[in-house]
Amino acid sequence: MGTDSLALDSLGTPADTVQKEQPDGLKAVVTIVAQDSQVTDIRNNIIHLYKEAKIKYEGFELAADYIRINNNTNEIYASGVFDHNNKYVGRPVVIFPNETPKVVDSLRYNFKSEKGDTWGIFTEVEGGFIQANRVRKNQYNEMSLYHGMYSTCNLPEPHTHFGIQISKGIVTENQIISGPAYLVMEGVPLKFITIPFGFFPKPNKRSSGFLFPTFGEEFNRGFFMRDIGWYLAFNDYWDSEIRGTLYSKGSWETSLHTRYRVNYKYNGGFNIRYAETKSGVEGTPQYTTVPDFNVTWNHSQAQEANPGTTFSANVNFGTSTYARNTAAAGSLNVEEITRNSMNSSISYGRTFLDGKINFTSSLRHSQDMVAKTLSLDLPTFSLSVSSFNPFDSKDRVGEQKWYQRINVSYSLRGDNILNTKEAGLFSKETLSQFQHGFQHSIPVSLSLNVLKYFQFNSSVNYTEGWHFQTYRQRLENTPGGFEVLRDTVNGFRRSYNYSVSSGLSTKIYGMYPKIGKIQAMRHVITPSVNLNYRPDFSDPQYGFYRRFIDAKGEETLYSIFQGSRYGSPGAGRSMGIGFSIDNNLEAKILSKKDTTDGGVKKIPILQGLTFSGNYNFVADSFKLSNINFSGRTALFNQKINLNFNGTFDPYAFDHQAGRRVNRYMIKDGKLARLTNFGLSFDYSFNPEANKSRQEGLDSLDNQKANMTPEQQQQLARISSDPNAFVDFNIPWNLAGSFSFQYANPGTQKRITATLNIHGDFSLTPKWKVQFNSGYDFRQKEVSMTRFSIYRDLHCWDMSFGWVPFGRYKSYNVTIRAKASILQDLKLTKRNDNFGSF
């Protein structure tokens, strides 16, 4: 510097502050900081700042390794510097009022005119990112850019794999207006895909607009244009999507998807989908049109919105063939396509008198998609009173006396139900078959400690049903012979039943000696026994049962309430002993990996192994009931959870007569017959993978309030498809499940077994292979198998999916932007053999 310069080493000194005169006479404070040095050129009125320099002026902030302030021209110039390795470092970071930070190569800004030029800018613009060689900003908060790129990548080149190269453009508050622009992929300019000018939306709020379709081909329905539509942004509380799909062979689909949300009150959405699928050759008898529909609705209420009151909905209703005929609306979602049941529930609840009385009401729907049957509860309600001790005193001092421990509660239930076939749901005859009634339940119980080690439990249960339909059987002579008919009699009838039970239970602890690494084993046995009594409600004095002469002339007994919602009071007197025994076995094993608790690790060996049954003293035959058992355990360091259950029949079976006989199996040298057995387990050889997936879904779920509709749809897909979530930080994962069922009532054995497996592994840190498949051992066929290959492209992703065989045989290749604003900017090559056999 010249002799008129003053050099000051400001390292370790506080920031300098000066007063800057404003046109209106007010003065604003300018804060200046330099980590290395500050040099003032007094003659030219210029200040030079070096190394981590910072300036703050009103809402304007600037940080760079070199800043020059010219007070004569009211101009600031900032840039980075070249270090000893000739690397450009310390680039300027600038923050304009009410804007996000911008990283640039260098800039010039005029305080007075509020205009500036920027070189090598990189900034975020409403979900997208702009980088440009030169940008000029004016006083109207508009930017003119020269040689820029608009992409979804949050890192500058060379990380940007895909983008739109803009020769010249203007960035305003709500849009980006460009001159000639073309697509750039992996640094290769595709100038044959050029537009002379363009308008890119940059909305500060949701706005209505066009939804771009996808294109492809299916084997049965032909070429398609899928999910073309329009997005409707009504206000900040709700929006909708109207979409449609057309196929070259005449099939079509349409859908209406609506979402709503009011913060701190409620949120939800519904989806109405309709499709007409044409199959066969037009003009032939085999040519058919199958209409299908599906309705879903979900609604949840915030707890703080209305304390003491709840309202929720989870509805999934439609034709059984919708997902199969439409390939789950083209998503090929395996879970939805293979679903064999649908369920819906709309619930309302409210508490009264500080929670002592609880009222709930619900509309329910259950649909068997294989048998095509429906069960509707329209509605069901219940009113329950919390249990209380009627003989206890509020002013009691000391422990309760035995009679003060008597506990009473009450519940009332009302039902209006219908069980019918799917095809005849809306017919007048079907709608007249609703069953309705009320049920009262009053349980009375007493629990006491007896002889220090035993728990005594006694109860009296009274249940009463109010029916508005009863049933009669009659024999009618028809041309085909005598036929048993069942008539419905409308009118009020009352049924009731009661039972008494008393029992004892205790716990027995056993310890086993040390064996090898097993330091200790503890066995907890919980036996219980109870005496129970129930009268014979088929006695004519109750009027609940009637006698009927069948076509063979034999007299049978039937209940007039048989088939009703609450069933029939029990026939035959019961007085017997109920018994059960529960077992839990745990071990403490030395572990070199787990050093907590002195290097001893506790593991469960067998949990909840329970046997239970009942012996009826007054029964004419078959006094001993079936023996039920169940249990669970975990293997291989808790990686496999195994559950099992079954039933033993202690009586012999006459195969010639095809029925049980009143003779114990033990007389034939066998303990009992195994009539049912079920075994299931699931496993994961890398629990961190499932943990990572769940954490990722939880994180996305917490951001739902700020998500766009496209992001919410993506989250829904991820939640339902285990292979849609790709975590490149997990090198491998292998998980699956197995289910086995055995049934042998005596006449015919039935065995079913299914295996499902899914997993993934990383070829490289950026390449991931995923797969899922399964096998049905009874059908002897492989279930739907899918392979997927993913390539992480940072701000984009590329995937290849392949279904090698079966009804949904297909493949697809997709390159897609991760940012929500360019969700529809995707290149897809797809070939579907949907419908081929």
Give the pLDDT band (50/70/90) at residue 710: very low
Question: pLDDT of 621-651, one tens digit each?
Answer: 899 999 999 988 877 666 677 889 999 999 9
Q: Is the pLDDT of residue 693 over 60?
A: no
Residues near 97 by Cβ (< 8 Å), separated by ≥ 6? 58, 59, 60
Q: What is the identity of the amino acid at 687?
A: P
Task: Give the 3-state secondary structure of 28-75.
Answer: EEEEEECCCEEEEECCCCEEEEEEEEEEEECCEEEEEEEEEEECCCCE
Count of positions (residues) in the chain: 837
Q: What is the mean pLDDT of the chain?
A: 79
Residue bearing tokens 């029925």:
659
pLDDT of residue 23: 44
CA angle 409, 414, 420 (to 5 degrees): 140
Question: Which residues contact residue 611 at a Cβ distance below 8 angstroms, ignoring those fewer than 6 apart?
Answer: 580, 581, 627, 628, 629
Interval 166-178 mean pLDDT? 77
For residue 327, give both structure tokens: 């390939």
Which of these ranges, 28-37, 195-204, 812-821, has the smallest mean pLDDT? 812-821
334 sits in which H/E element: helix 334-337
Beta carbons of 411 and 371 less than 8 angstroms apart: no
Q: Could you tell me if 466 and 494 are in contact, meaning their C-beta atoms sit under 8 angstroms apart?
A: yes
Here the tokens at position 424 are: 């005849």
Q: How many CA atoms lie within 13 A of 479 on its CB side?
A: 0
Per cent of the chain over pLDDT 70 is 81
Q: What is the pLDDT of residue 718?
A: 44
Amino acid at residue number 830:
R
Alpha-carbon span 281 to 286, nearest angstrom? 7
Instruction: Name residues whose C-beta falls within 8 Å of residue 394's C-beta, 6 or more positions apart in sequence.
Output: none
For the chain, first and last CA: distance in Å? 86
Helix (H) and strand (E) counts for the chain? 5, 54
Name the residue among 221, 250, 253 with its Cα closest to residue 242: 253
Residue located via tokens 């502050």? 17
| Spatial distance between the Cα atoms of 63 and 98, rounded to a whole number of angstroms | 17
| Helix, strand or coil, per DSSP, at residue 706 | helix
At residue 713, the 3 state secondary structure works out as helix
Output the pLDDT for position 820. 45
Confidence of residue 726 (pLDDT cuts 50, 70, 90): low
- Predicted confidence (pLDDT) at residue 135 exceeds the cutoff of 80: no
* Secondary structure (H, E, C), 70-106: ECCCCEEEEECEECCCCCEECCCEEECCCCCCEECCE
- pLDDT beyond 50 at 731: yes
Using CA atoms, how far apart are residues 156 and 130, in angstroms rounded to an integer? 9
The DSSP string of 431-490 is: HTT-EEEEEEEEEEEEEEEETTTEEEEEEEEEEEEEEEEEEEEEEEEETTEEEEEEEEEE
Which residue(s) pair with 365 in the sheet? 344, 376
The residue type of 297 is W
Q: How many CB atoms lie within 10 A of CB 503?
A: 19
Look up residue 721 and give its two tokens: 């498809």
Beta bridge partner(s), residue 734: 759
State the Cα angle at 723 between 715 and 754, rounded to 5°: 125
Q: Please, what is the angle between helix 687-702 and helix 709-720, to 10°?
A: 150
Mean pLDDT of 820-827: 42
- Is residue 186 predicted with pLDDT exceeding 60? yes
E-state strands within 766-832: 767-776, 781-782, 786-793, 796-803, 810-817, 826-832
Candidates 306, 391, 408; CA nearest to 351 is: 306
In angstroms, what CA-CA distances link 227 with 202, 244, 318, 639, 708?
23, 5, 20, 42, 17
What's the pLDDT band for 378 if we cut at 50, 70, 90? confident
Q: For residue 822, how many other CB atoms are within 10 A of its CB?
A: 22
pLDDT bracket for residue 291 (50, 70, 90): very high
Higher pLDDT pick, 159 / 754: 754
Q: How far apart are CA 67 and CA 55, in angstroms?
A: 9
- Alpha-carbon span 239 to 587, nearest angstrom: 57
Task: Count the Cβ atoms, other than its own, within 10 Å of residue 118.
Answer: 24
What is the C-alpha separation between 712 and 704, in angstroms, rounded?
7
Average pLDDT for residues 609-613, to the nearest whole number?
91
Residue with token string 């951001």: 703
pLDDT, greater one: 15 or 589? 589
Higher pLDDT among residues 755 and 801, named by residue: 755
Measured CA distances, 621 to 263, 564, 775 (Å): 64, 28, 44
Extract the tokens encoding 433: 């078959």
Tell me if 344 sits within 8 A of 312, measured CB to CB. no
Question: Any idea which of 123-127, 173-177, 350-354, 823-827 has the lowest mean pLDDT?
Answer: 823-827
CA-wise closest residue to 506 among 442, 443, 574, 449: 449
The residue that leads in pLDDT, 156 or 34, is 34
460 pLDDT tier (thresholds 50, 70, 90) = very high
Residue 486, class by beta-carbon neighbours within 10 Å (0-12 exposed, 13-18 middle, 19+ buried)? exposed
Mean pLDDT on 42-61 = 84
Could you tell me which of 198, 202, 195 has the C-alpha nearest to residue 178?
Answer: 198
For residues 784 and 320, what is the distance between their CA atoms, to the nearest angstrom? 19
What pTM, to 2 d.p., does this model score?
A: 0.59
